[in-house]
């Protein structure tokens, strides 16, 4: 997958987790928690969905690398096998 496809996939997961949030205008360089009303359980749900949908394991020590949409795309793009 290219970075744009990874971004789309991550936004879809976030939209499925944060049902009441508008994910159409997410900024790449602003913390997802600052842009959305996500708590730590929502964040874990996002990580679990990455594993379920794409078989991507994110070790707990790498969670900070998923802080922004841009850092998610940067971290996850090499992990997508497609």
Catalytic residue among 22, 39, 42, 45: 39
Active site residue 20: no
Sign of torsion, CA 49 10 78 60? Answer: negative
Q: Please state the three-class secondary structure of 28-74 as a single string.
A: CCCEHHHHCCCCHHHHHHHHHHHHHHHCCCCCHHHHHHHCEHHHHHH
The catalytic residues are 39
């Amino acid at each position: 997958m290219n970075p744009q496809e990874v971004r789309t996939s991550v936004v879809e997961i976030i939209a499925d987790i944060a049902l009441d949030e508008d994910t159409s205008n997410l900024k790449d360089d602003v913390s997802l928690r600052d842009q959305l009303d996500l708590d730590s359980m929502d964040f874990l749900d996002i990580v679990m969905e990455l594993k379920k949908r794409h078989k991507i394991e994110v070790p707990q020590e790498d969670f900070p690398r998923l802080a922004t949409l841009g850092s998610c795309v940067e971290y996850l793009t090499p992990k997508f096998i497609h």
